[in-house]
Amino acid sequence: MTPYVPGDSPVHRCPPGRKILLLVGAGSVLFAWPRLDLALAALGLAGLLYGMAGIPARLVLDQLRPLAWILAVLVLVQVALDGWLAGLLVAARLAALVLLAGLVTLTTRSADLIEALQRGLAWLRFVGVNPAKVGLAIALTLRFIPVLAAIAAEVREAQRARGLERSLVALTVPVVVRMLKMSDDIAAAIDARSYDPDGTDGRPPSPRTRLSKDPHVDP
Amino acid sequence: MIEIRQVGHAFGERTVLRDLTLDLSERRIAVVGANGSGKSTFARLLNGLLVPNSGTVRVDGLDTRRDGKAVRRKVGFVFQNPDNQIVLPVVAEDLAFGLKNLGLPKDEIGRRVDEALDRYDLRPLRDHPAHLLSGGQKQLLAIAGVLAMAPEAIVFDEPTTLLDLRNKRRIAQAIDALPQRAIVVSHDLAFLEHFDRVLVFEDGRVAIDDRPAVALPAYVAMMS
Amino acid sequence: MSTRDIVFVALFAALTAALGLFPPVTLPVVGVPITAQSMGVMLAGALAGAVRGGAALALFVVLVCAGLPLMAGGRGGLGIVMGPGGGFVLMWPVAAFVIGYLYERALGTLTVWKEVLILVLGGVVLTYAVGIPWIAAVARVDLAKAALGSAWFLPGDAVKVVLVVLIARAVRRAYPTLRAR
């Protein structure tokens, strides 16, 4: 899913959690001290790290392309308002941050990223959120994005036959209704495989886990 | 042994099961009936996914109302649509899901995952995203995920309805080969011919309860 | 949260991601491309309610920050949040929560106009209130310019509000999901 570039560089081997923290740190520093020398240094550092990780130049440009027009507008506005130095600062800072963020994505497997995320969210326990449930929610999301995309494609085919493929309502309503009907079975399937993060031994699944709808109504 | 005593169930106004009393002890039990006859609801009673409005369901003496978790360890459940049953994005991860829930040690989980992969020729797909599997492979993965948990019985709710002919046959063979007790809800009558017992549901009741040789022709006659 | 609630949270997060896969529609006259993705925010609030809808979008934003390419156009990573549009994205969970809360409060007495009002309040007013100052800060422009730049997206938002009202009404008839608060 993520355009991961395999490798064994120090950038690849750095634990994902540390990479994210470093990235957040870099962002905070650049915004706290809006100085051109810092922004350029960050840009240089980004270039150095991309080289170290062995990322092809094409992928580096891919990271910047979505921002190209925003960068252009920003630089023009800044140059007009505060002179070209200010324009350069904004552009360099944004480019550096986007490149560094892209580097994290390119050098980390999404599975590792998610695992780090789950560990990183362990503190949620203290505000009453069970990290195991967060972990399941993350995994379920990744599992069902392609399923929903496939349902959407199927619905689009069906609506095309009726000449409705340009209508977002005609596309979205059946997708959402099918998704909601699926949710009953998915929840039942999870409980059927002994999922029990709260350790509520003995009791039947929580009341709302039971079928809210008649199972005879086929999804 | 599953004991069902005076079970009734309704969804709101609609009564779907009426005063059922049955003992299920055969190795292969088929459940047939028209859409809306109550058979899917019946299937969900057997491992406590659904607790009846009235009456009791006991599995080896455990009441599904009080001991739901223990019952679900004994009785596995395979759904009609494997897409709703595969909950984790990667094949091996999904196989391990139930095993982690059972609290098994890591090496035991690894051993059972490998065993399940080999049983259904899924080994090359171990690290594949589950959504890239074919329909038949998905249903095999769903079955493997339940089987790896080593339940004493498995309930199948129309496991072949969404599959093409070749995969229907493959899943039927997989179910035939199970060492466990199996309770299968199905419309695929040919597959049920060599079962030990057939329950024909009609309007929330068991209309016919007999050997396949007797029950299946009677069911066909009833439907036509 | 019950298993069913977790499934709801995950499905609405996945729906928001899947809506990003729909090809963007370019509005006539204005010429700004609009993506269906922010409809996910309003739908999560309107159909999953405050807690589950808010959690769904929080999950979505966390996954985007972690680098998964779930934003329209396959974008992802902390760059999204650190960029000029970051304020809008960070407000999505709050917007879904507020929309869900207001829907749950008004559930028995929902009229079309009430729904439009709720969605405009949560999905437009609230997100712009944070999104515009964010643009101003990140891009170092004054608020008026940031607001003017954002105004281009208002026609698209208006279209989305209407679509979500239509979708939410149709879905609620087929499959009611909310409980009154």
DSSP for C24-74?
A: PEEPTTT--EE-SHHHHHHHIIIIIHHHHHHHHHHHHHHHHHTT---BTTT
Pair A200, A173 in one domain: yes
Element (H, E) at A119: helix A110-120
User: Is B89 close to A204, i.e. CB distance below 8 A?
Assistant: no
Helix (H, G, I), strand (E, B) or coil at B143: helix
Pair A14, A111 in one domain: yes
**Do residues C61 and C67 lie in contact, with contact meaning Cβ atoms separated by under 8 Å?**
no
**Mean pLDDT throughout A153-178?**
85
Across the beta sheet with B181-185, the strand order is: B75-78, B153-157, B181-185, B28-33, B197-202, B205-210
Q: Write down the H helix ranges in A33-83.
A: 36-53, 57-64, 68-82
Domain segments of chain C as ranges: 3-174
Whether A191 and chain B come into contact, CB under 8 Å, resolves to yes
User: Is C170 close to A82, i.e. CB distance below 8 A?
Assistant: no
Flag whether A111 is in a domain: yes
User: Which of A100, A120, A140 lies at the terminal end of a domain, its last residue?
Assistant: A120
Flag whether A5 is in a domain: no
Instruction: Name the nearest CA neighbour of A207 among B49, C11, B205, B185.
Output: B49
In C, residues 76-115, which contact A (CB 8 Å cutoff)?
76-80, 82-84
Check whether C74 has a pLDDT greater than 90.
no
Q: Give Cα A136 to chain centroid, integer Å.
A: 16
Whether A211 and chain B come into contact, CB under 8 Å, resolves to yes
- Lowest mean pLDDT of A105-119, B81-95, C59-73, name the range: A105-119
Pair A162, A64 in one domain: no
pLDDT given for residue A212 in this prediction: 43
- Lowest mean pLDDT of A58-62, A143-147, B172-176, name the range: A58-62
In the beta sheet, which residues pair with residue B153? B75, B181
User: Which of A120, A152, A181 lies at the terminal end of a domain, its last residue?
Assistant: A120
Q: Does domain C3-174 have CATH number 1.10.1760.20?
A: yes
User: Is B66 close to A202, i.e. CB distance below 8 A?
Assistant: yes
Whether C62 and chain A come into contact, CB under 8 Å, resolves to yes
Pair A126, A177 in one domain: yes
In the beta sheet, which residues pair with residue B197? B29
Place of tokens 């999870």: A190
Check whether A1 has a pLDDT greater than 70.
no
* Total domain count, chain A: 2
Instruction: Name the nearest CA neighbour of B16 among A211, A13, A138.
Output: A211
**Do residues C119 and C46 lie in contact, with contact meaning Cβ atoms separated by under 8 Å?**
yes
Domain segments of chain B as ranges: 2-85+150-223
Place of tokens 């949560």: C122
> What is the C-alpha to C-alpha distance for residues A185 and A192, in angstroms, rounded to an integer?
10
In C, residues 117-156, which contact A (CB 8 Å cutoff)?
138-141, 145
Model pLDDT for residues C25-60, shown as the tens digit of each residue: 766 655 566 778 989 999 999 999 999 999 999 999
In chain B, which residues have their Cβ closer than 8 Å to the Cβ of A136?
A: 87
Task: For residue B2, give every residue at least 6 positions away whose Cβ sits within 8 Å of its Cβ, in sequence order, or none.
Answer: B22, B23, B24, B25, B46, B57, B58, B59, B75, B153
Q: Write down the H helix ranges in chain C.
A: 3-19, 37-43, 49-65, 78-82, 86-106, 112-119, 126-139, 143-151, 154-174
Query: pLDDT higher for B22 or A209?
Result: B22
> What is the C-alpha to C-alpha distance for residues B208 and B200, in angstroms, rounded to an integer?
5
Q: Per the structure block, which two tokens stand in for C99?
A: 């929309």
Residue of A nearest to B154 (CA): A192
Query: pLDDT higher for C100 or A65?
Result: C100
Give the closest of A186, A205, A214 to B87, CB-based.
A186
Pair A29, A95 in one domain: yes
pLDDT given for residue A219 in this prediction: 38
Helix (H, G, I), strand (E, B) or coil at C21: coil
In total, the C-beta contacts within 8 angstroms joining chain A to chain C are: 192
Check whether A166 has a pLDDT greater than 90.
no
Residues of chain B falling short of pLDDT 50: none
Radius of gyration (C-alpha) of chain B in whole angstroms? 17
Q: Give Cα C121 to chain centroid, integer Å.
A: 12
Judged by phi (left if over 0) then psi (alpha if -120 to 50, else beta), residue A78 lies in alpha
In chain A, which residues have their Cβ closer than 8 Å to the Cβ of B47?
A: 192
Flag whether A197 is in a domain: yes
pLDDT given for residue A197 in this prediction: 79
Instruction: Give the pLDDT band (50/70/90) at residue C177.
Output: confident
Averaging pLDDT over each range in A1-5, A115-119, B15-19, which range is the top one? B15-19
Flag whether A108 is in a domain: yes
> What is the C-alpha to C-alpha distance for residues C86 and C138, in angstroms, rounded to an integer?
9
Instruction: Give the pLDDT band (50/70/90) at residue A27.
Output: confident
CATH topology of domain B2-85+150-223: Rossmann fold (3.40.50)
Check whether A87 has a pLDDT greater than 50.
yes
Element (H, E) at B218: helix B212-223
Q: Which domain holds residue A58?
A: 10-120
